[in-house]
Copies of this chain bind each other. A is one copy, B any other.
Amino acid sequence: VSDSWLPIPADSAFPVTNLPYAATADGLVVALGDSVVDVGAVALSTRSAYVDLLAHPTLDRLLAAGPQAWATVRAEVTRWLTDESVRPAVEPHLRPRDGVELLLPFTVADYVDFYASEQHATNLGRLLRPGEPPLMPNWKHLPVGYHGRSGTVVVSGTPIRRPAGQRAGPIAGGEGGPTYGPSERLDIETEVGFIVGAPSRLGEPVAVDGFAEHVFGVCLVNDWSARDIQSWEYRPLGPFLGKSFATSISPWVVPLAALESARVWPPSAQTPLVPYLRERQAWGLDIRLEVRVNGELVSRPPYRSMHWSPAQMLAHLTCNGASLRTGDLYASGTVSGPRRQEWGSLIELWDNQQFLADGDDVVIAATAPGPGGTTIGFGEVRGQITPT
């Protein structure tokens, strides 16, 4: 890739090899250095063939256009930003990145959350089911997951109102029944999300190697969790109101094409698997996350430690014939690495003693290695807790 005609700091997480997309009321933008490029406006002013895909206030049309279009649009946007002869047409559509209002980047169809970190599943199993084996017998055989609420997926920056809900009474079987009130154990889950562009047909599973034909890109996810609500409600049908009040995602969507240098084999490649989960292309990702609460770094979860790759998750999600729609979002589950300072939720990190207070501000950010020593940034997903 040529360099951009725009001077970009060498340590920028938004080099021309990245070009993540975000949505504004005026159309799509891509990030470049400390700027955004209003690619919707460029497409309009240059009468680009891609104006319908780019001059639109969500990524929905671009997602639906499919992998060939994703590649040609990315090549065209790259040309706009690297070809000096196009510079006069593009430069008027640069704006400082700070202060641009970024919207929910796409219309979320179905939202699925996985549980793909062995360390996280082990940590949670120990906390929630003391005395029992922390991992269920199925855990190493399939990526455990469940459906979440797509209607409450919100973009970074949306205030997160502390949920109220039912919590277990004083003691199980003892005096007093459950009570309803504001959650006293409000937590985060540091996750990575995958966004489906190209749909699939009902009854036709997507093969594990078909991942890049369907998934457009990657965002950051904070799957807010009310642990007291969750632990009372979750048996036998899984998490529901402990999660459904809000899920925050980053406004920037990093195309898979920007992550070629970040691909690694996931740990599950070393284990015996049923055929539909055996991947022949490495789709683990070396994404390095950072979690800050009120500005203080509390964890650095390493996505590369996740047992299951996003390609395996997608193959599993569809192995029963379930169809995909444009805008389906599936998240990895909490990213927790083997070391304590790599755990991605507060219930793990803080020994179940301390949770989020009203006013707390949580920021999850991430980077991955890019081509030629560049860094691929994901921006951040942020949320501040407001009272019930």
List A residues at the B interface (Cβ < 8 Å).
109-110, 112, 115, 125, 128-129, 136-138, 141-142, 144-152, 154, 161, 163-166, 168, 172-173, 177-180, 202-203, 205, 226, 229, 232-242, 244-246, 272, 274-276, 316-317, 319-325, 328, 388
Contact = CB atoms under 8 A, between A and B. Distances in A.
A50 to B, nearest CB: 27
Q: Is the interface of A mostly helix, strand, loop or mixed?
A: loop
B236 A142 contact: no
A187 B203 CA distance: 17
A319 B324 CA distance: 30
A150 B237 contact: no
A154 B202 contact: yes
A320 B165 contact: yes
Contacts of A180: 274-276, 319
B323 A274 contact: no
Contacts of A165: 319-320
Given A142-B178, A147-B148, A178-B274, A320 B229 contact: yes
Among all A-B residue pairs, the 4 with the closest Cβ atoms: A238-B238, A163-B320, A147-B147, A161-B203
Contacts of A239: 146, 237-238
A149 B320 CA distance: 12
A301 to B, nearest CB: 20
A164 B319 contact: yes
Contacts of A149: 110, 147, 322
Contacts of A229: 320
B320 A274 contact: no
B163 A142 contact: no
A229 to B, nearest CB: 7
Given A203-B161, A321-B164, A233 B144 contact: yes
